[in-house]
Structure 1
Amino acid sequence: MLIGPPGSGKSTLGQLLAERLGVGFRDTDADVEAVAGKPVSDVFIEDGEAAFRALEHQAVRRALAEHDGILSLGGGAVLDAETQALLDGHHVVYLQVGLADAVQRVGLASARPLLVLNPRSQLKKLMEERRPVYQRLAVVTVVTDKREPAELADEILRGLPA
């Protein structure tokens, strides 16, 4: 299971890890979009963050019950105390990324709903607020800055239990 802020590489690494392990890949943001019938950014704008977080929690709960491959959680999914409890006992990998790399990957013209007004400042704030939660939940932390996905996948696979 991969956690981390926007731009940490959860989707890219998740797909690569799933391919290498011969298992499925699932992204809870995609699950939320499928249930809502619209992009995450539209859920935020039209329904509000509280509605999105409720859908996100349901998506994590469902994915943990149904999926046995690689799972990528939306960056803020770990903020929910019930979601944190659900992650207990799972092999959680925190993809740690610095602000400069995250900005480069996400882009400042992003459609990500929490980064609309001042993207760089908002991303920095999100990363600082969420870091302690990511660190507490993680069994393994991998720093992604200036590294290729294949190298990161190798490191994560070495850290997986046998």
Structure 2
Amino acid sequence: MDRYTQLRARTITLVGLMGVGKSSVGRRLASALDLPFRDADAEVEAAAGRSIPDIFADLGEAAFREGERRVIARLLEDPPHVLATGGGAFMNPETRALIKSRSISVWLKADLEVLARRVSRKENRPLLSGKDPLEVLQAQAAARYPFYAEADVVVETGDAAHHVTVDQVIQAMTAHLQDHPR
């Protein structure tokens, strides 16, 4: 049995604010653990047949969140994988309960100024449209951090390279599973 066998026994769900690296770190984590990778946002787009900005524009955030909840519930029925969620997914009480019961949840946390710099490079984030990224992230942090704090594992990522963050996640999850065997 290799040292990652225990980590591969359950789905690993990454939560955190936009720009923290849930998708990019998640892909590398999945590769390191030899698990499939799933991105909830991409799965929502595939299920809806349209982009997230289009869903927000045409149907609104509430419709997006309901679709996101259904997609995550479906994904959590699949065999173990690494799941990157959208930044607001863990806010939904039903989704949060499903994630906590069917996976190991990992909150990736980074300095808000680092995140603001990262998200400013992309135009595909509907919650930032026409707004100051740092102000949006500060408001989201105030609203979301109490919920993210319910994650099983918290990893402060800083501005480290993705492979460093992957190592931090593996170490934190290993410690968590030693303290909380399932």
| Corresponding residue number in structure 2 for 1:21 | 33
- Cα offset for 1:99? 1.3
Which among 143, 147, 157 is matched to residue 129 of structure 1? 143
CA-atom RMSD in angstroms:
1.4
Structure 1 residue ranges without an equivalent (≥5) = none
- In structure 2, list runs of 5 or more residues that go unmatched: 1-12
The total of aligned residue pairs comes to 161
Q: 1:115, 1:123 within 8 Å by CA — same for their partners in 2?
A: no
**Is the CA contact 1:3–1:94 (under 8 Å) kept in the aligned structure 2?**
yes
Question: Which of residues 126, 130, 141 in structure 2 aligns to 1:117?
Answer: 130
State the shift of 1:119 in Å.
Answer: 3.2
Given candidates 144, 152, 159, the residue that maps to 1:146 is 159
Using the size of structure 1 for normalisation, the TM-score is: 0.93
Task: State the structure with more CA Rg.
Answer: 2
Contact 2:35-2:81 at 8 Å conserved across structures: yes
**Does the CA-based 8 Å contact 1:27-1:73 persist in structure 2?**
yes
| In 2: Cα distance, 1:7 partner to 1:86 partner | 23
Distance (whole Å) between structure 2 residues aligned to residue 19 and residue 76 of structure 1 = 25
1:1-162 to 2 correspondences below 5 Å: 1-89=13-101, 90-107=103-120, 110-120=123-133, 121-136=135-150, 138-160=151-173, 161=177
Percent sequence identity is 36
Question: After TM superposition, which residue ranges in structure 1, 4 or more long, deviate above 4 angstroms?
Answer: none
2:76 aligned partner, one-letter code: L
TM-score by length of 2: 0.84
- Offset of residue 106 of structure 1: 1.0
